[in-house]
Amino acid sequence: MSIPRQNRMEWVALAAAPVLLSAIAFLQVRIDAETRSVAQQKQEVLLTSGPLLKKLSLGYDSLLADIYWTRVVQYYGGKLDVMDPNFELLPPLLDLTTTLDPKLLIAYRYGGIFLSERQPVGLGRPDLGAELIKRGIAANPDEWRLDFDLAFIYFWHERDYAKASAAFLQGSMIPGAPDWMATMAARMADKSKELDNARALWSEIYRSTQSPKVKAMALARLTTLKVLMEEGWLNDEFREYLQRFGRPPKSTEDLKTAGIIPGVPIDPAGFRYIFGPDGKARLDPRSPVVIESLPEVPSASPQN
């Protein structure tokens, strides 16, 4: 008696499932080993190509994508916990994940951050981050958040304001996109608002992310930006005091007494800002606040 085609396909899927799961288990062991050992990490890691794995998945594409995405997060988190700057498996793992499930938005959004952030908290390849996000936009043209992510990479990591503006503008045209997307498209051309724009973008990432690590990263960037903006403001007020009285202020208290500022500003740790010998505002040496350097303007695109 012949077996109906549908039943034959079900039997094939059931027979192949153990093999598929064994392959996943093998990959998990290899990635865990990579995470634990820097020496092993330098060895070649063989990963099945995305298109081939998709064919072998027998309809379990989304399930496999979720599994691979879990491995991406574990791999990235493991590296971040020990401050290991070697993230060489991120590109192939993200490629596998998004090939299996092109609709898995979280893989594009967080993957773009993981690829773009400077070492030791990321791969330091914003070009690969932008490439991943572009793939996500092509597969999910109605998701404005991906356009936001692309604009963010162009603005924060590459300082390409024209591309950032274009990405914001493209995203603003998608139904459901917030009004501020169009506003940010216009503000990208105003370099005098660079720190303010950066704060707005990091604030959105902090507000919307569900990842504790990304939230901590965003909070650190917001702290840096707050300090830089307040120092810049105090530098302006320092010059006004000097022009008005013909001598530099000894402290921010002098600015308050002169009515130039309404109160004495404090940093995120509660310490007052001071003026250095050069007349520039800075953190009190006793303050525990750590200021991270902003990304440098890239001189050229990194080579593959």
- Per-residue pLDDT, 109: 96
Distances from the Cα of 2 to the Cαs of 7, 9, 290, in angstroms?
10, 13, 72
| 131 shares its domain with 233 | no
| 197 shares its domain with 49 | yes
| 97 shares its domain with 138 | yes
- Per-residue pLDDT, 58: 59
Long-range contacts of 169-172 (CB under 8 A, 24+ apart): 171/144, 171/145, 171/146, 171/147, 172/144
Distances from the Cα of 53 to the Cαs of 47, 81, 109, 274, in angstroms?
10, 30, 22, 59
- Per-residue pLDDT, 295: 75
pLDDT tens-digit profile of 152-161? 999 999 999 9
- Tally the domains of the chain: 2
Q: Are 187 and 197 in contact (CB under 8 A)?
A: yes
Q: Which helix (H) or strand (E) holds 275?
A: strand 274-275
pLDDT tens-digit profile of 5-19? 444 444 444 444 455
| 191 shares its domain with 233 | no
| 131 shares its domain with 63 | yes
- Per-residue pLDDT, 133: 98
Query: pTM of the full predicted structure?
Result: 0.75
Flag whether 74 is in a domain.
yes
| 170 shares its domain with 50 | yes
Boundary residue ending a domain (155, 182, 206): 206
Instruction: Provide the residue range defining the domain that includes 277.
Output: 218-282
Boundary residue ending a domain (166, 184, 206): 206
State the average pLDDT over residues 132-147: 98
pLDDT band at 42 (very low <50, low <70, confident <90, very high): very low
Flag whether 82 is in a domain.
yes
Please determine, for residue 293, whether its predicted confidence score (pLDDT) is greater than 80. Answer: no
Alpha carbons 138 and 282: distance in angstroms, whole number: 45
| 104 shares its domain with 245 | no
Alpha carbons 164 and 168: distance in angstroms, whole number: 6
| 63 shares its domain with 166 | yes
Boundary residue ending a domain (184, 206, 228): 206
CATH of the domain at 114: 1.25.40
Alpha carbons 57 and 24: distance in angstroms, whole number: 11
| 42 shares its domain with 152 | yes
- Per-residue pLDDT, 9: 41
| 253 shares its domain with 186 | no
Alpha carbons 87 and 77: distance in angstroms, whole number: 11
For the chain, the average pLDDT equals: 83
Flag whether 165 is in a domain.
yes
Alpha carbons 116 and 256: distance in angstroms, whole number: 42
